[in-house]
Each structure stands twice: as structure tokens, then as C-alpha cells.
Chains A and B, each alone.
Chain A
């Protein structure tokens, strides 16, 4: 490579990099670094205020389920394309999930594309690709239920509240 060619090469590369650099800056500025979104860990009120059975907490798009003094939460966001699933009476009272019998009092149906889930969140019909996630539930220092939507838990999870106040 002679001097002339080398300099021309450097020049062309510099021009290309100048514009690529700018393009990258424009693109990167559109990927947000700060999110003004509600936190993924939030309080949803006192356990005693939740009735027996299933309650839809609209603000956080999840269901709180209470059986006497045990509590757990299931996300209401359909795992297909993100609509809210509805609670409906079950088609069958007793269903088999992974070989185990499960007695259910309700099912979840999605209005958008007809995904169907059993009462404990396992998808069985429609286009849903996976079960509704269960979120970690805890009691905060002020006695309120605290949901941690960053942490998924398995279907054996129960929060036992001894002192319902």
C-alpha cells in the first residue's frame, strides 16, 4: 500500500466512523436509562381486608388468594400477549395437573386470544405458552402484604399469617 492509498483509506474510514458514531448516539439516546415506573415491590394492604377466595387487585394486575390464614398471589397478566385474564367458574371441578389431582373453584380465561388456565395458573388451552407466574408474598413491618413481582415462586408457596389482627 502506498502513502496516497493509505491516506485515502484513513480518510474514508474517518468519514464512515463519524456518521456511524452519530447514528449510534441517536439510537442510544432512545434507550431509556431512567424509568419512571412504579416499583416492582409494593404493598397491597392488610391481610384481614382480603375475603376468603380470590380477589383481583386491579392496580397491580394480580390476584390475591386467601384460604383461611394462608395467602398467595398469581399474576393476572396473560403470558401470551399481556392482556388481563378474567376469573370464571370452572369447566371441571377436579382436574389433573402433571399427574396430580387438583380441586379448583375457578379458572382463568383471557379475552384477547382465548388462553385458558387452571385455577392455580397452569395453562391448558388456547395460545398461552406458559403458566401464570406466582409472585413472592411477604408481610411488611407495618403488617401489610408485600408483593415482590421480581421474584417468581413455585405453586407450593403459601404465606401463613398467624396474627390477622
Chain B
């Protein structure tokens, strides 16, 4: 029995190290944990500083990968059969509904959490180096912005795979946004042709989005998020850790490692595992109590009215509808301005923001630091605007994308 225990221990790791040496070895000698530091600062482990949103995201990605790979066995990326394999998930496959719901809810939560994570990092000024010449947090922020875009890309490509009405019209609009990139006859048309694999949305489009969703984008996300987490370690932990050095410098004190750090195993790992469990519980809650919708099979001859994008793209749909510029007979397509140009500019602005932020080192890793009040206000206004037009598009846009009061909904079909 002892022999078995010994073998098991050598394969895994110690959760309750007896001494400092064993605690250090628990990370460095373990393949899965060796990229964690042996020690971690107390401030990095705070619940209320980071809310552990990065760990939540990693947990969600894990759930999405497991459910996603199983779904791949049950799904056929064929324009004729895709919809019916989803129907089978609902009606015939044992626990098919569970797989589909879990995958869908984990995806929605991932989109939400990725935005919350970005807001947390911004409002705490965590993209700052805090005077540490060794770290490069602005770079990690840029990687984070790319990860946000990848997450949205994964949601969008996954949204299309059921090949129902919702899917078809989302892809029609998405592909036509690509088509509206000027000059349309040179750039837009070829972009559409490459994305759709032809001049219309059909089988070649479905297989393209399927491969993007199952292989290309997840792989890219895995590589970049690994780099993202590795960089956190290279930057000396979460940005709030810089506060130890700043305080010590102010008091002219020497930092003693035992006073401000503790062992990753078991303390940080215990919390990370707890976060994973909570995340799983939340996903399971939604999975069991909220059904994933499925509309009628894709029908290119009939557009639902109104045809709305998923909630995380409603702000883009609203921007598309309101940004068409008309100068006489000449019209600039809102599909390009609202659908491509403004989102691209926003992403670019996010990416370069750390280089525009000239606030002092003390503002690193502090929620709503006074010196960053202007940054926080501008950021909050942009986020509130995006949330505002999302809500507007969700509840105040009716048939033909006209403005309605939400309580007038039942009357709307009789408007014409």
C-alpha cells in the first residue's frame, strides 16, 4: 500500500507539503505545475483585488474544450445534416442536451468574463509596470486584447454551426460586413469570397467556420493564453505585487520574502481549485435550468423580422444601423463603418492605451487610483455607451429595426 502511495506521489504532487523544501518541489518537480512560481505574493491572492477572473476564464476554457471535443463526435458539418445532428442532441443522444447547454453557457459566461477581466485590469491600472524594469505588462495587455477578439471570434463561429435561422442570418450579415470593406470591388468582394468559399453562404462556408471554430481559433487561443499566463509570472505576479516594492522604497525598508509571499502549493492552488469548482457550479446551474434555443432550419429565402445578432454583438448591429453616412447620392456603408472600422479602432485604442497612460508608479494595481481618474472616466463612458446601445438594440428595436417601447411588443406585428 505504501509502495502504491509512493508511486502516486511521484506522479502527482503534494497538496500538504511538510516543509519549505517539499513546498518548493511541489511546483518545480511537477510537469503540470512547473510554470507556476514556487512562491506567490499575498496581495496577488486577494479575492477582492482580481476576483480571480483569469482563473475563471481558464476554467471555462477547460469546460469548453471537454464539452466541445465530445460535441465534435456528435456533429456533422454538412449544410443538409448539421441542423438535424443538433436536433438529435436535443431528442435522441443521452445527455445531448446537457453537452449542448454546458458548451453554450460556458461560452456566454466566457464572453462576459473576458469583458469583466478587461475592466478589472483597466480600473486597477494593472497594465502598468510600476517602475519595475523587468516587467512588460503593456505587452501582456495587448495579448489580452487579442484574446478578447479571439473569444468573440470563437463565439461567432460557434454560433453558426447549428445552421438554423439565427446562424444563417448572422453569417449572411457577418460575411457582408467583410464585403463592405472598401474598395468593395477589390478588397471587399475577395474577402467575402475567401471567407464564404464562394459567392454565397453554403456548404463551403460551413466547413470553413467549423474548422476555424474547432481547430484554428482554439489552438491560437491556447497558445496566446499560455503566453499570457507565463508573462504574468515573468512580470513578477499580478500588478498589485509592485505595491510591496513601492511601499518598501517609501519607508526605506528591505523586503523579507517570508513576510510578503507564501507557497503556491498549497495556498494558491487551493484557491484556484476553489474558483474552478465555483465556475463549474455556475455553468452546471445554467446548464440544468436554462435551455439553449434552436430556431427553424436555415432558410435563405426567409429572413426573420427583426433578425438580431447574439447579445454580445448587438452593439455592432446597432452601430451598423446608425453609422451610414450620406453625402448627396454618395453613401458610405454603415456595414463598414459600424461593423468594421469602429470596432477595429476601439480594439486599436484599447491596445495602445497603456502607452498613453502616464500616471505615476503608485497607481499600479490599485482600484480607481486618483491619478487615473480621467482614464477611468473615459473608459467607463465608452463601456457604458456600448452597454447602453446593446440594451437599446435588445429591447427597443422591433420589426424592421424600428424603435419601439418594449411593452408594445405584442402589438408590433400589426403595425403594417
A residues at B contact (CB < 8 Å): 30-32, 35-37, 58-59, 61, 80-84, 86, 88-89, 109-114, 116, 123, 126-130
Determine whether B405 belongs to the interface, using a CB cutoff of 8 Å to chain A: no
Residue from B197, B303, B322, B416 in contact with A112 in the complex, judged by beta carbons closer than 8 Å: B303
Residue from A31, A81, A128 in contact with B194 in the complex, judged by beta carbons closer than 8 Å: A31
Residues of chain A within 8 A of B361, CB atoms compared? none
Stretch touching chain A among B142-150, B175-183, B244-252: B175-183
Closest Cβ–Cβ distance, residue B186 to chain A (whole Å): 15
CB of A109 within 8 A of CB of B332, answer no
Residues of chain B within 8 A of A116, CB atoms compared? 400
20 contacts between A and B (CB under 8 A): A35-B199, A61-B300, A80-B334, A80-B335, A81-B172, A82-B172, A83-B172, A110-B400, A111-B303, A111-B304, A112-B173, A112-B307, A112-B401, A113-B401, A114-B321, A114-B400, A129-B180, A129-B324, A129-B331, A129-B332
Residue from A36, A81, A88, A109 in contact with B173 in the complex, judged by beta carbons closer than 8 Å: A81
Residues of chain A within 8 A of B169, CB atoms compared? 83, 112
C-alpha spacing A153/B173, complex, angstroms: 26
CB of A112 within 8 A of CB of B306, answer yes
B residues at A contact (CB < 8 Å): 169, 172-173, 175-177, 179-180, 193-194, 197-200, 202-204, 208, 300-307, 317, 320-324, 331-335, 339, 399-402, 416
Indicate whether A81 sits within 8 Å of B301 (C-beta atoms), given known contacts A111-B400, A111-B401: no
CB of A114 within 8 A of CB of B401, answer yes
CB of B321 within 8 A of CB of A127, answer yes
Residues of chain B within 8 A of A84, CB atoms compared? 301-303
* Chain A, Cβ-Cβ closest to B337: A127
C-alpha spacing A129/B331, complex, angstroms: 5
Residues of chain A within 8 A of B307, CB atoms compared? 83, 111-112
Residues of chain A within 8 A of B176, CB atoms compared? 80-82
Interface centre among B176, B193, B323 (most CB of A within 10 A): B176
* Chain A, Cβ-Cβ closest to B180: A81
Residues of chain B within 8 A of A58, CB atoms compared? 301-302
C-alpha spacing A85/B152, complex, angstroms: 28
Closest Cβ–Cβ distance, residue A123 to chain B (whole Å): 8
CB of B335 within 8 A of CB of A81, answer yes
CB of A32 within 8 A of CB of B204, answer yes
Residues of chain B within 8 A of A127, CB atoms compared? 320-324, 333-335
Residues of chain B within 8 A of A128, CB atoms compared? 324, 331
C-alpha spacing A12/B314, complex, angstroms: 49
13 further contact pairs, Cβ within 8 A, besides A127-B321, A127-B323? A58-B301, A80-B334, A80-B335, A82-B173, A83-B173, A86-B303, A112-B169, A112-B401, A116-B400, A126-B401, A127-B320, A127-B324, A128-B331
CB of B303 within 8 A of CB of A126, answer no
C-alpha spacing A114/B204, complex, angstroms: 29
Residues of chain A within 8 A of B333, CB atoms compared? 80, 127, 129
C-alpha spacing A37/B202, complex, angstroms: 9
Residues of chain A within 8 A of B198, CB atoms compared? 32, 35, 37
C-alpha spacing A130/B335, complex, angstroms: 13
